[in-house]
Each structure stands twice: as structure tokens, then as C-alpha cells.
Amino acid sequence: MPEMDGLSPDAVRHELEGIAARLSRATAGGVHTLKEDRELCLTAKQLWNRSGALEIVGGDESLLNEMVQLFLVESPKLVAQMEMALFQNDPRSLELAAHCLKGELRYLVVPEASETAEMLEIAGRTGEMDAAVDLLADLRTRLALLWTVVGHDTGI
């Protein structure tokens, strides 16, 4: 059974705070910015197609901000549900949580993370829980970056 280290939304939020601090250092720039932090910042900016998300909501900035706020609240809960599903070897719960997150990511136009969420959904549907462990680790990294980027880009 896989060992899960952060089974709560609070644990997920704590993880993203560390990545957010690295992104803040990277965006501040300067001579002392670590190469890894600069690369992290570039990767984060490539994650979210903000203009595509705005197009989906008809250019309504207020609606986009509401969607982002909802995403920032709900997505850590969904990640925690997926972690618990892996911990409890519950493929159906994994499938459902990944499906919900995939939908949120598609509305926000985050293609790479939504593809990873879809692969997690499929892993749950087919019972491939061992493959899901690595997929979830990848998704957590992408989401931690995304949470920082969408929050920054929308002023949240």
C-alpha cells in the first residue's frame, strides 16, 4: 500500500505555500535567485492559459475570479480525497475526485494538469492504483504551481 504524507487539504495548502515562496523569490529576481527557482517560475507561467479561461467566461473578469476562488478552495480538498483513496485502496473514490478536478482544470484551461487528472480518473476506473501514485505526485506539483499562478494573476 502506498505511503501518503499529506492526507488533508491543510497539508496540501502547506506544500503549496513552500512552492509559492520559491515562486516569489524567483519573480523578485536578482542575482541571488536560484536557477531552480527561475526554472520553476517559467514552468508555472506556462501552466495556465488565462486568456483561454477568459474566453470561456465571455471576458468576464469577475466571473473568472470567482471560478479561481472556488478552484483554490475546492482543489486541495479533491487532492486530499485522491490521496485518501490511494491510502484506502479505493479506486472508485479516486476516479470520482479526479473526474471533478479534471472538470475544474478544463474550465480554467490548464491542459497538462487536466490530462494528468484524466489519467488518474482512468487509473481509478481500471483499478491501476500503483500507477496512480506517481500520477498524483506529478499532479500535486503541477497544482502547487498553478495555485500560485492563478492566485497571482487574478490578484487573489
**Sequence-separated (6 or more) residues with CB below 8 Å from residue 77:** 9
**Sequence-separated (6 or more) residues with CB below 8 Å from residue 73:** none
Compute the distance between CA of residue 60 and CA of residue 154 in angstroms, rounded to an integer: 12
DSSP letter (8 states) at residue 90: -
Compute the distance between CA of residue 79 and CA of residue 83 in angstroms, rounded to an integer: 6
Compute the distance between CA of residue 91 and CA of residue 132 in angstroms, rounded to an integer: 9
Ranking 41-50, 52-61, 71-80, 90-99 by mean pLDDT, the lowest is 41-50
Angle at 65 between CA 14 and CA 6, to 5 degrees: 20
Residue 29 has pLDDT above 80, yes or no: no
Regarding predicted confidence, which is higher, 68 or 98? 98
Enter the pTM of the model.
0.74
Q: Which amino acid appears at position 9 of this protein?
A: P
Contact 40, 23 (CB under 8 A): yes
Taking each helix axis from N to C end, the angle separating 91-107 and 61-87, rounded to the nearest 10 degrees, works out to: 160
pLDDT band at 146 (very low <50, low <70, confident <90, very high): confident
pLDDT given at position 47: 77
C-alpha closest to that of 114 among 45, 122, 70, 64: 122
Longest Cα pair distance anywhere in the chain, in angstroms?
Answer: 49
Residue 4 has pLDDT above 50, yes or no: no
> Grid coordinates in use for 35?
536557477
Q: Can you tell me the mean pLDDT for 47-65?
A: 91
